[in-house]
A and B are shown apart, each in its own frame.
Chain A
Amino acid sequence: MKKPPTLGSKTVRGLNPFGGEQAAQLVPHTRLAGPVPWVIAIMVALTVIAAAGGLAMSNVASNARAELAGGATVQIIEASASERNRQAAIAEQLLAEHPTVASVQRVSDEELNTLLEPWLGVGANNNEAVPVPALIDVRLREDITEGNLNTLRGLLASAAPAARIDAQSSWLGPIFSALSSLQWLAAALVILLGLTSAAAVWLAARTALGTNHDTIEVVHLLGGTDPQIARIFERSVGFDAILGGAVGLALGLVAILVLGGQFEQLGSGMIAGGGLGWVDWLLIALIPLAGVAVAVLTARLTVMGALRRML
């Protein structure tokens, strides 16, 4: 009788990792056909947009804060134009002489008209139908406090009784609080989307595990170790996640650039400073990477959990 093959010499066997293409073959390549890459792509795109929005708002807020930190506005609220101009001129002079004041700038009538045009219509200010206060921009050498505002109030009280002084940042207080709510909202969205992505990946990993349960059991019974088997799924899910993450990042970036371009065109001083710095871009680039890490980790935990139920 012919001697059975390979039985003559024992093949060298070890506990080497079972990796590479051969191991990957154990799980059928569903790849793009499956929903996982697309779910991850959508999640990453949404997360990137939410994160970019939050970061941009945070930049707007901090830029505006810095710009307004030393700024105050003096309004001369007086119906009579001549009286208004007189008090404005006195106030301007008094302020310019004060040591804490860095610069004083009367907002010219033309400028005021341009600013108010959208609300009051062309030439509305000329016929005095709507009295508009005179505005003086004051910039201090130091940050504005209630204390130094009161000093300036005292300075103007007798010479220009119609003057009212406010820190510029206080005007924007409601806007700042709205911005910070939006930032919290963006952060919450990022967290929720992250959790949803993790849940989606978890479900996908479980499904993959279910359909390949027999294969896993066979490899397990042939002496495959838990880490070996987990690695097969990590690879498969990791590949899907990288693909989904890349597509999602691309979609998110397109959305950010389009939105960014539109805000740029608004040209409003309010939106200026809402651009993203390199740290922001780095954080955004980390999102798909975090997605891949979550996907791989979830796959690993799921597979290991299922294997632990086998002897």
Chain B
Amino acid sequence: MTRRRVGLFLTEEEKFDVIIVGAGPAGSACAYILAREGKSVLVIERGDTPGAKNVTGGRLYTYALELLDQGLHEEAALERKVIREQIMMLSGDRAITIDYHDPSFNEEGRPPMSYTILRGVFDEWLAGKAEEMGAMVACGIRVDELIERDGRIVGVVAGEDEMYADVVIAADGVNSFMAQRAGLIEDIKAETVAVGIKEVIELPAKTIEERFNLREGQGAARLILGCTEGIHGGGFLYTNKDSISLGCVFMPEEAGQKKKSVHEIFQDVKMHPSIYPLIEGGETIEYGAHLVSEAGFRGIPKKLFREGFLMVGDAAGFVINTGYSIRGIDLAIVSGIAAARAVIGAEGTAAAGPLYMEELKKIKLLPTMQAQDGFSDILETAWLYDKVPDLAADVFENLFTVTGEVPGSVKKDVMRLIRSNDLSAWQFIKLGFKGMRAL
């Protein structure tokens, strides 16, 4: 493999068909298809290895890999296939856990619906696949600038080196300096992103399987509500082969106003009486953080291309957050495929951009994001992040409490609990209405 710092002094005559900035899932997927179809491709990655700079939850929905190449998931660097979808609500030291198990998600003869993954491992594997197809992956190089000629992007600058291509593809993630350099986006606004923090906690596979009621190779994905001290956000827990990814996501705007460190809030979550037993005896082996786009469909930049330039994955704002799941890796792969198809199909550099937009529709990415745009409205509801888990726990407490006293009317109790949580039935009706409209 050519994973060294390479000095590339190339002239304009020795140009590549395509230069891709970033070897995340978007960049590598794009490179894979382009190289397979005979294009000369250079992927430039600032990390020492692909994945070295990347942090996710995370899980990958398998359909995206299958779209890249049928059967690819069988050899992919994946952790566990998800068989348990869990939602957890915390209120003080109380907890409610919902566990959804649906065998049809993992029927024999079909690829399982999703897998947990670790990006350090997965990204390196995917970039390796692109290399197998003939793409060149150069790591440890940070792209600094774009080269523009007559209004067209024709290459990139990295340190002293200049490299040229017919098309430059920005696959450089949520903090896309490339798209900024191209003048297609402004600096990101705080209210459109959240910061995710995560510990990877090592545990024997057997222990994980016992604690989560899993068999070998099976995994659980859990979202946690009510663990962010009322800040927009939530927690997540994914079981890997022999580790657990535990993390929290916060709107930084509100965290700043709260004046409590996000690191500290996350440490509280880790020690919660219903979380701690799941990770007890384990050992934290890594601490990571990353931004994630929260803006959904409405946050996609107005223009995703210029002549000689396309944006894919997080750089293009392709993330769906529904509150109970987050999708970005699959959309990154799918958009990488769409960009590759556009470059292959286009006659001349000017045609690639408009064709890319068509491909994004054809591959169902834009329609999917549009269909789920309404979740943004629901997730804006401030009381979702503390009062709803509090109320749910109050109701459960009420249901499960038996002391020998004469119980009150459940209906009256629920109304009293709604009021004592500073909510009104009207707020629920409004949320329900929003929900109906949004979905």
Q: Do A and B bind each other?
A: no
- B contact set with A: CB distance below 8 Å: none
- A contact set with B: CB distance below 8 Å: none
